[in-house]
Amino acid sequence: MNGSTASVQPSQDTLQFLQAIEPEDLSLATFVDSLVTTSDTGKELGEFTVSIQYAKYKGEDAYLIHANSHGAIDNVPCGTSITAYVSPKLETLEQQHHEYVKLADHPLDRKTFIVIQDDKMVINKVVTQGEEVSRGAETFDLTTMKGFISEGSNLLLQRILVRKGLPASLSFLSFDSETNLCTTTYKSLEVRRETVGKEEVEVVGIERTIHSTADLPTTWQSYFLKDGHLCNRVQVGSPVTMKLLRMPRIVEKEEPSERPVFEKKGLDINEDMQLFSMFLDRKDQLKNDHAMYMRHHPELQAILADFLQFLLLRKPEDIFPFAVDYFSSFSSQLPSHSPYAKSSEIPPKPQKVDTNLPPPPYP
């Protein structure tokens, strides 16, 4: 079934805000939140975690968002989990949303899948109530889904809003609990103080409301630390509150610092005592090393003495080829060739004349 967005449109301010999101805004929002779920009497009922990290989706830059909320209300197990990939402009590329309530006689399990296929957003639903299973599918043209914020991208959006500052009001496209397309609005709440652990901190509030076209509006009020860490979250009308019990490490924006400039100074070994001491130590080390090598190889001194004596006897004009010729006789890879050959060659013996040959003819 094809969905329609004719009566639902995001505000122009919303589209401009999404286009203004910078890479730094996203990198500062990549961390983990961990809260506890408590009843109105203060009893711990479960836990709520949100993690956002940089990832790749089909080879493109993306952000992986994972949220889990599990616990028991009135001894009835229930929970929600969200896994989503969103683009740097908060476009939902893929999302899996799972909700369950394990009632003894009538358990409920709802799974919603969102995926982008070609130029369409495809939504598949599987709802299990007791023994009954219902399935549904819907598609939306991507050109009509600009400004759409899913449950997954909402978690990243709120962290960005805390740092960048929330305008008077923003209106996005979203789905209600039955995946009916509708609008969702964000507005700021008054700054207040919360106690986290043993510290009292100032927190920033954001109110999010989903304006369902088929049901009553649903509103959440969330309070954040200045860096975007979630501190308190409650659904209006619900007895359950999510609270931060321990202060996390605050994510600070790194300010670019000027690189120090050091004046280049010339080195004078005679004035720098430390440098002069290092020079003497190195000099002694080399002398000892060379002397030890000479002691282990006495043949070296004999070879060099022979070469120098032969060099002074011959006194060649070009020493280099003479040295090559001399030392080549020590190589096992070259044919043996003595440099003394030129002065010690034995002249060839004269050929024997055959006296029995007839005399040459005369003219």
pLDDT score of 7: 65
- Per-10-residue mean pLDDT for the chain, 363 residues long? 66 89 95 94 92 95 96 90 96 96 91 94 94 93 93 97 87 92 94 92 96 93 96 94 93 72 71 82 90 84 82 86 80 53 45 48 44
- Give pLDDT, residue 11: 82
**pLDDT at res. 339:** 47
**Would the pTM of this model clear 0.75, i.e. be above it?**
no
- In the prediction, which pLDDT does 255 show? 66
SS (H, E, C) 75-115: CEEEEEEEEEEECCCCCEEEEEEEEEECCCCCCEEEEEEEE
What pLDDT is stored for residue 332 in this prediction? Answer: 58
What confidence score (pLDDT) does residue 345 get? 45
C-alpha pair distances (Å), 322 with each of 93, 300, 311, 319: 78, 19, 8, 5
Dihedrals phi, psi of 292, to nearest 5 degrees: -65, -40
* 3-class secondary structure, 234: strand
